[in-house]
Structure 1
Amino acid sequence: MPVEQAGAQVDTPAGGELATEYMGLRLPSPLVASAGPLSQSLDSMKELEESGVGAIVMFSLFEEQVRREEAGSPEAPPASQSDEPAATDAYLRLLEAGAGELSVPLIASLNGFRGGEWTATARRMQDAGASAIEVNIYAVPGDLSMSGAEVEDRHLEILQSVKDVVSVPVAVKLSPYFSSLGQMALRLDEAGADALVLFNRFLQPDIDIRRKEVVAGAGLSGQDEGLLSRTWLAALHGKVRASLAAASGVAGPDDVVKALLAGADVVMTTSALVRHGASYAGELVNGLRHYLIRNQLTLGRLRGMLAVPADTRVDEYERSGYLAVLEQARRRHGL
C-alpha cells in the first residue's frame, strides 16, 4: 500500500513555483546544498542562500573528533591550550551564527559508525539552532567477522540514539551497499527516520603502479553516480513515510529534474557547487523552474512521475526493464 510522504507538495497552478517541504520543514526550493566545504563559513552559506538553495546541510562533525575531545586526548587539546577552538565548539559556534542569520533551514551533520555517547552531540546541535540533524553513517566494516545483520542493526541503533536526544527531524544518509537495501530503508523508516538520503559516497582509493602505493581518492562525484540513486528513489517513492533526498550525480539542471521525476522530495549537491561556485545553485534552480513552465507542470505533479507504480512489485518492474534493455541491445548490436 502506498503511504503519504513527508515531503508531499500540494498542486498549484503551473508557474514555476518551487516551494516544498522536506522532513516537515518548509523550503523555498527543492535544491539543497549538501555537506561540504561551502558550508564551512557563514559568508559562503549566505551566498548559497542568495543563489536559491532551499536548505543547507553543514559539513560533518565526525565521531572521532567528538570522542577525542571527550577523552581529553592530546590530539585534541582544550581550547584554552590551543589557538584553535575544539572542533565541536567551533562547529556549534558556526551553526549558531548561521541559524541566526540565514532564513533557510540549516541542517547539522554528524558522521560516524560506532555506538556510544558521541551521538549525544546531536542535542547540542539542536540547542545551537539546527533545524534538523543529518546522520551520515559511513560504514565500512573493517572487522571481517561482522555480519550484515550487525551492520544493519548498528544503523538502527545510531538512529535511535539520536532520536532519543532531539525533537527536530533526523535524516539518515546511507550507502547503497546492503544485501537488501529496500528492507534497510523500510526498517529505518519504521524506526522513525524523517528522511533517507541516497547515497553516501565511500572513499575509493586508487593504486599508483609506478610508485607502488595507494593514492587517496577524494574526488568530486560524477554524473553517472545519479543512476543508482534514481533507481532507488523510484523504487522507494510512495513506499516510505520518510522524505527522500537524492544526493549523488547532480551536475546540472537536467539531473535535478531527473531526480524529482524519480521521486525525490529534495535534490542535494556539493560537487556541482564546488566546481562552479555557490552561485551555480541559481542556474540549477532556474533550470528546474523553466522546465516546469515549459512542460506546464507543478512541482507536485513532476515529483514521482516516473517512479515505480504503486501497484507494481518493484522486483518485477526492475526485472522487466532489465529484459527490455537486453532485447534492445540484441536488436541494435545483433547479439
Structure 2
Amino acid sequence: MALIEVDRLSKHYQQAVRREGRFAALRSLLAREQRTIHAVDQISFMIERGEMVGYIGPNGAGKSTTMKMLTGILVPSGGHLLVDGRVPHRQRVAHVRQIGVVFGQRTQLWWDLPTIETFELLRYIYRIPQERWRQNLDTFTKLLELHPFLETPVRQLSLGQRMRADLAAALLHDPAILFLDEPTIGLDVVARERIRQFLTHINRERGVTIILTTHDLADIARLCPRVVLIDHGQVIYDGTLAALSARYGRWRTLVVDLSHEVEAVSVPQAEVVRREGPRVWLRFDRAATTAAALITDVAAAYPVRDLTVEEPEIEAIVRDIYEAGSALNHRALAP
C-alpha cells in the first residue's frame, strides 16, 4: 500500500462574475452569476514511503491547493485521498501528529519568543517524550547549525536562520511525511545548500517522505528523483527527471573547441547558435541525429581540439512545457 494515494482528486471554487455597466451592482444583487474554478481537476498519483517527490507547476496550476488537501487544511470537492491510511480532513488531529509542514512564506515559530522556547512549546503540543525531543533537538542543532541563535527571538532571525529553525520545528515530533512549499525562497546560495543537504540526510537516514513544491528547479534537480508536473489543475507528467529530459529535452548542444578559428562552420543536421573565436556551439535534434554521428562529421571537416555535449537544462525543458500549455496528455512511468 502506498503511503499517499490520490485518486481523481478535485477542488472546485465558486467565483462571482462581475458585470459591467451602469447598474451592474444592482443586477448582481438581484441575480448573482457565478462561475466554477477548477483549481484541481481529477488528479491521480501515488507516493511510496521514503520517496522525495517534486510537485511543480506554474503559478495558479493547483500546487498549493493540492498541498492543502494533503495536509487536511482544505476539504476536497471530489475524489479520494489517503495519507498513511488517513483521510486528512476527517482525521485532522491524528493526521497533523504524523506530518511536518514548512511554508516558505509563513512560520510556525512564535514571533516574540526565543527559538528554543518555541521548540519547548512544540514538545508539549505534540507530547514528545523528553529524551526523544532532546535527541532530535541535538541532532538538528548540529546538522542545521542552530546553536548561535537558539536564544534569539524569532523576529530577529534572518530569513535563512528562520527557515532552518522552521525545518527543525517541523521534524521534532518525528513525522513520517514532510510537506515543503518553497523552502528555499529568498535564501542565499550557502543557506540553500545547507537546507538541501539536511533534507537529503533526513530522507536517507530517517526515511522521511518529502513532497516539495518550488519554482527553483535547481532544488528539484538536486533533491528529487521523481517529479509530478501539474498545469491548469491536471497532472501532465509523472516520472523521473531523467525521463523528462530525454523525452521532452529535444535539443542538445555540441560545444566544439577548434585548434584555430575558421571562417565558417557548417555541419549537416546541426545549427550554429553561437561563436566565440575558435569555440562553436552546434545545436542538434536528438531525434534526427546522435552526438556520436555529429562528432564524427565535425572531426572529419575541422581541426578539433576538444568537444563537450551539453544536455538541455531542466529549467528550459519545464519552461517550454509550461509555454506549450497542457500539451502532454500521457504520463511517463514512475521510477
TM-score by length of 1: 0.33
Higher fraction of strand: 2
With a CA cutoff of 8 Å and minimum separation of 6, indicate the structure with the bigger relative contact order: 1
Higher Rg = 2
TM-score by length of 2: 0.33
Higher fraction of helix: 1
